[in-house]
Amino acid sequence: MEPSDALHSFRHSLYECFHRRGDALFELTDAILSADAAVPSPVHLSLEASHRRGWGSFYAALDRGRIDAEALRRLLACYPLAGSEAKPVYAVDVSVWPRCDAECSPERGYYYHPSRHSAGQPIVAGWAYQFIARLNFVRES
């Protein structure tokens, strides 16, 4: 398969993962991939050339857009990363933002915390967030 055909196929399959507000989510994805690393805030992505819609569609896509996460997971697993000969290795960090006093906050849950405890258990109320990074074996930072 030619590289341009593979890219076209990937983009088509990616677009099919976006259900509600699919056009805006797709343009937002293009904006994320083409933006500089020093974007001061997410709304600045709406200023990228690939994001042709207004800033209002940015918020509507984030608020009301729907992504088929399982289909996206399967799609990303099918395409190897460019320039990788070996299987990629990833590290995942799950951190907790403890908010024990925010009893009315939406989606607050109980998560493991190594230094804080609740009722003698190593858990706290709050939100969990995750970082994922690809590891390499080159000595660099």
Within-domain flag for 14: yes
Residues 63, 11 share a domain: yes
Q: Which domain holds residue 109?
A: 89-135
pLDDT in tens, the chain (141 residues): 676 788 888 888 988 988 888 877 888 777 777 777 777 777 666 666 666 666 667 777 778 888 899 999 998 888 766 665 667 788 888 888 777 667 777 777 888 777 777 777 888 888 888 888 888 777 776
Is the same domain home to 93 and 74?
no
Domain's final residue, options 40, 56, 78: 78
Q: Helix, strand, or coil here: 100?
A: coil
**Count of beta carbons in the 10 Å neighbourhood of residue 126:** 20
pLDDT at 104: 75
Query: Same structural domain for residues 72 and 44?
Result: yes
At 5, give phi and psi (nearest 5°). -70, -40
Are 30 and 61 members of one domain?
yes
Residue 133 phi, psi (nearest 5): -140, 140
> Is the residue at 141 inside a domain?
no
Classify residue 66: in a domain, yes or no: yes
Domain shared by 73 and 17, yes or no: yes
User: Which pLDDT score, from 0 to 100, does residue 70 have?
Assistant: 92
The pLDDT, as a whole number, for residue 92 is: 87
Helical H segments across the chain, by residue range: 3-16, 22-34, 55-64, 69-78
The span from the CA of 16 to the CA of 22, in Å, is 8
Q: Note whether 7 and 56 are same-domain residues.
A: yes
Domain count, the chain: 2
Neighbours of 79 (CB within 10 A): 13
Q: Which residues pair with 134 in a beta bridge?
A: 90
State residue 52's pLDDT score. 65
